[in-house]
Chains A and B, each alone.
Chain A
Amino acid sequence: MKFNRKAARRSDASRLTLRLWDFTGTAMLNLFMFLFLVAYLSPLPFMVIASLTPRDQFLDAHAPILPSERVKFNYEGKDLVVYKVPTAEGVKHWALYKPGRTSSQFIDPANPAAGLIEWKGQWRTLRSVYEFKPTLQNYQDFLSIAKIPLYFKNTIIVALISEIGVLFSSIAVAYGFSRFRIPGVKYIFFLLIATIMIPSNITLVPTYYLFSGHVLDWIGTWLPLLVPHFFGSAILIFLLRQNFKSIPRDLDEAAMLDGAGPLRILISVILPQSIPVVTTVALLHFFYIWNETRLSSLYLGIAPNLQMVSFAVQRNQTYFFTPEALMVGALIVMVVPVVVLFLSQRFFMQDMIVTQIEK
């Protein structure tokens, strides 16, 4: 009886320590992940804060980090800067009226009727008073010079057209790779994988020559950016093919017995089961078009009205190279892909995993 109670007590205690350990472990793990994420993503909030900061804030080395403005006091039609003035009765917030070398005249914003106050000391050693005040001035400046709406429109048009091209051709090719017995298809597929790894600059010179005035004269149009996508994209074909292969063939065969042709099978059997992967692939292509700057700089440098967002912002940003303006540009360019990712995260990421791992 005694022994039993002791044993029970001991097991209670050990259960408690175990639970305590468990709890500490869980807490530490989650805390670590939280801290990691904070550190990992810290440039992003910083970017937002910086983009809202007035441009001249840091001319004063003692300015606060958050976007703020100097407090001003309007006296007799003039904006006077308010300073922290040390006096016999503690630090006062007074507006500087007439600066002088050894003594200056201040006015008390709380009690302007009292008139000018003489203060002895060097006013340059005083620090000005700031209040928290985010500004949209950087955005306004940036939008007024760069034709952002036009660039957004261009990006959307290019994205839509090339999306149609790349989806039609890549789906057809992936279907061809996944469902037909073609002699030597293994080697063709190997070629496909190899083209994914070919560095783009090996084809750069000849394709540039092809698109230049000597042959096709497509420079300064969207065609060099659009037409290649109508031949399919190797990496997207690969992802689609992996997914199509995982769909059981029984359904195709049943449809075939019912007299459906290959195209019919693709449209009414394969595609309805592949909506997630097709969407994933479409999103990947959208991100690609959105981020594309390489071809734009080659082919659209001379056509300012045809440029797309990332490239155009990169170019226009050189007009004003202050950190605040840079942050505005960064924010404008990245906001769309990030929002699209968050809207589609659920299946986008899951599907990307599933399709790739089968390699």
Chain B
Amino acid sequence: MDLVNQSKLWSKIKPAKPTRLQQEARIGLLFLAPWLIGFVLLKALPILAALVFSLTDFKMLTPEATKFVGLENYLRFFSDSQAGASLFGSLGYFLVTVPLEMTVALALAAIFTNARLKNKRISQTLIFMTSIIPSTSIFFIFLGSLAYADRLFFKPYNLPPIEGFGLLLPFMALWSIGPGFLIMYSAMESVPNEVYEAARVDGAGPWARLVYITLPMISPAIFFTLVINLTGAFGGSLLLDRGYILSFSLSPMESYINTTMFNRAQLGYASALAWITFAVMMTITVLLFRSARRWVYFPEEDEENEV
């Protein structure tokens, strides 16, 4: 439906005879229009609105009684130990799961590059498969397995039952290595063979080849995977989104914001919390991109300019 409008507008532009470049830019912008409109309406304005909300005591049920309270919500964050704990919980989640995911994915990718491995395609699909299982299912499988273990082993042998969801995190992390694994595997496959042969001639063993050739050569892929995982840990959009689990979000900060918003209806404070998370996440991202210049190998600099 957008396309029809665009083609109509395009024919309207034509008689005005602007220069070729101007015309091209206009048509291009028309094609970009859906996303640009969506960006303004659903991203830019809401983010700014959240900033405004965070400076007020906005409540959903009585929007007309809203007062400007300045930085009160932000100051409240520093005295709210639960919020601090949630934020650290989210960071901790990132620090625990991401290295685990990355290491396992990298190790598997390294094994997969070995020509002796048989049935690669089916193994690859099986490894990838767990990454598309909805979180609903994962959560139920986890709960059900715990209950079973309890019935079959813990109760009969009088062992203390496993409590809480501590094991769920590594379990879910291990079951989400699919995209990272594929990215790193294909990056390893595309490292030219001559490099390895040259290293072999120089007497480099498999371990040296992995550390000094493979890892630097696939550093862009590692970086990309790291960014994807970071995005996922803080609730950005994911390549494969599993959805989340009611009443128990894997990101403690996110569930705390939801509680503040829906159970306590304090939208102003919830917005402030969201902005704080956003700021923390952006700081980490910027640091990550800064550090990337040091350890990520970019073969061809900036393809963007040739467009």
- Say how far B215's CB is from chain A's closest CB, in angstroms: 16
Residues 195-249 of A at the B interface (beta carbon under 8 Å):
195-210, 212, 214, 228, 230-235, 237
Q: Which residue of B lies closest to A190 (CB)?
A: B304
Among A46, A214, A313, A331, the residue within 8 A (CB) of B145 is A46
Q: Are A310 and B134 in contact (CB under 8 A)?
A: yes
Among A40, A200, A291, the residue within 8 A (CB) of B242 is A291
Q: Are B281 and A199 in contact (CB under 8 A)?
A: yes
Q: Is the interface of A mostly helix, strand, loop or mixed?
A: helix
Does A103 sit at the interface, judged by CB under 8 A?
A: no
A-B contact count (CB 8 A): 314
Interface string of B143-159 (1 = CB under 8 A from A): 11101100110011000
Most buried by B among A40, A168, A317: A40
Q: Are A231 and B37 in contact (CB under 8 A)?
A: yes
Q: Which residues of chain B are within 8 angstroms of A208 by Cβ–Cβ distance? A: 261
- Say how far A107's CB is from chain B's closest CB, in angstroms: 30
Q: A196-B237, A334-B134 are in contact. Are A201 and B254 (CB under 8 A)?
A: yes
Residues 27-49 of A at the B interface (beta carbon under 8 Å):
29-30, 32-33, 36-37, 40-41, 43-44, 46-47
A37 CA to B117 CA in the complex, in Å? 13
Interface string of A58-80 (1 = CB under 8 A from B): 10010001000000000000000
Interface string of A113-142 (1 = CB under 8 A from B): 000000000000000000000000000000
Q: Are A235 and B117 in contact (CB under 8 A)?
A: no
Does B82 sit at the interface, judged by CB under 8 A?
A: no
Does A25 sit at the interface, judged by CB under 8 A?
A: yes
Q: Are B267 and A209 in contact (CB under 8 A)?
A: yes
A145 CA to B307 CA in the complex, in Å? 57
- Using a Cβ–Cβ cut-off of 8 Å, how many residues does chain B contribute to the interface with A? 109
- Say how far A19's CB is from chain B's closest CB, in angstroms: 13
Q: Are A352 and B182 in contact (CB under 8 A)?
A: yes
A195 CA to B231 CA in the complex, in Å? 10
Q: A37-B123, A37-B127, A201-B254 are in contact. Are A353 and B182 (CB under 8 A)?
A: yes
Q: Are A329 and B136 in contact (CB under 8 A)?
A: yes
Does B135 sit at the interface, judged by CB under 8 A?
A: yes
B residues engaging A (CB < 8 A)? Answer: 1-3, 6-7, 10, 21, 24-25, 27-32, 34-39, 41-43, 45-47, 49-50, 53, 60, 63, 108, 111, 114, 116-118, 121, 123-130, 132-141, 143-145, 147-148, 151-152, 155-156, 174, 179, 182-183, 185-187, 190, 220-221, 224, 227, 230-231, 234-246, 254, 257-258, 261, 267, 270-271, 274-275, 277-278, 281, 285, 304-305, 307
Show 12 A/B contacts (Cβ-Cβ < 8 Å), sorted by A: A33-B123, A44-B141, A191-B39, A198-B43, A204-B261, A206-B45, A231-B37, A324-B144, A338-B129, A352-B179, A356-B183, A357-B183
Apart from A33-B123, A186-B307, list 20 A-B contacts with CB within 8 A: A40-B130, A180-B25, A182-B28, A182-B32, A189-B304, A195-B43, A197-B285, A199-B234, A202-B47, A205-B270, A209-B49, A230-B34, A262-B27, A287-B240, A314-B139, A326-B144, A330-B138, A333-B136, A333-B140, A338-B129
